[in-house]
Amino acid sequence: AQSVTQLDSHVSVSEGTPVLLRCNYSSSYSPSLFWYVQHPNKGLQLLLKYTSAATLVKGINGFEAEFKKSETSFHLTKPSAHMSDAAEYFCVVSEGTGFQKLVFGTGTRLLVSP
Amino acid sequence: DTAVSQTPKYLVTQMGNDKSIKCEQNLGHDTMYWYKQDSKKFLKIMFSYNNKELIINETVPNRFSPKSPDKAHLNLHINSLELGDSAVYFCASSQKGTAFNYGYTFGSGTRLTVV
């Protein structure tokens, strides 16, 4: 069964500094991987996805993620944090077998200080 | 607007009551889902329907009963509400065979508070 582990429950950065949110996955098959963002009291928005094409994936709002099969990782990065990036970020895995179920990580809260 | 819409957005009710949350999508998707987000923000799938047929039924108390009158609607009915049912419930949709590539489209959530 597939699963994801988000290594940090909270990450704090200063505005203008780089962001790194870590995610490791476990999957029996070639997975699809996603990052979703949830702003306070809001729904879930898809940031980016990896589906076995390019291993470096670009998403919205300047975020990127790199799929590394050898490390079973899919870390989310952004060169320069903005105050509006403060939110909860979820790493998500799906396997392409039958009806696909998205399995969520436990989330990482990104805090951005001025 | 094309979207997944849930009603109500907030629901406060007493223990023991029965309540329903409605979900509708106009994206033409054939698969819909209910997820529960607990107080620690953890999201766990509860149910999934494809073309009105139940395909995923995780370990959920039988007080929770999903109903799908057509492929654009998936409602969640909860009997005999308990304090532990307090959570945010998210509806989502996808097209069969494409969730792998595109993920889901989520509604904005229903915050249920049982007092």
What is the per-residue DSSP string for A25-36? Answer: EE-SS-EEEEEE
Query: Would you kindly state where each structural domain of chain A is located, as residue ranges?
Result: 3-113
**A68 vs B10: CA distance, rounded Å:** 40
Residue A104 Cα, gap to closest chain B Cα (Å): 6
Q: What is the pLDDT of residues B17-41, one digit of tens each?
A: 999 999 999 999 989 999 999 988 8
**Displacement of CA A90 from its chain's centroid (Å):** 5
Residue reference for tokens 């915050």: B111
Helix (H, G, I), strand (E, B) or coil at A71: coil
Option in A51, A88, A106 nearest B101 (CB): A51
- Per CB-CB distance under 8 Å, the chain A contacts of B49 are none
User: Are A76 and A87 within 8 A, CB to CB?
Assistant: no
For B8-46, letters b (16+ CB in 10 Å) and e give eeebebeeeeebebbbbbeeebbbbbbbbbeeebebebb
Q: Please tell me the predicted confidence (pLDDT) of residue A80.
A: 97
| Disruptive mutation site among A9, A29, A37, A44 for chain B (greatest number of B CBs within 10 Å) | A44
Find, in chain B, the residue whose alpha carbon is nearest to that of A32: B100
Report yes or no: B59 at the A interface, CB cutoff 8 Å: no
**A3 vs B106: CA distance, rounded Å:** 20
Q: Which amino acid is at B90?
A: F
Find, in chain A, the residue whose alpha carbon is nearest to that of B47: A101
Pick the range with the lowest mean pLDDT from A26-40, B4-18, B22-36: A26-40
Domain B4-114 grouped into CATH 2.40.50.140: no
- Per CB-CB distance under 8 Å, the chain A contacts of B90 are 43-44
Q: What is the pLDDT of residues B53-111, one digit of tens each?
A: 888 888 788 999 999 999 899 999 999 999 999 999 999 998 876 666 678 899 999 99
**DSSP code of residue A63:** -
Q: What is the pLDDT of residues A53-103, one digit of tens each?
A: 788 999 999 999 999 989 999 999 999 999 999 999 999 998 655 556 788
Closest CA to B110 of B77, B80, B82: B77
Residue B46, token pair as written in the block: 């509860």
Four-residue CA torsion sign, A49, A53, A56, A59: negative
Fold that domain A3-113 belongs to in CATH = Immunoglobulin-like (2.60.40)
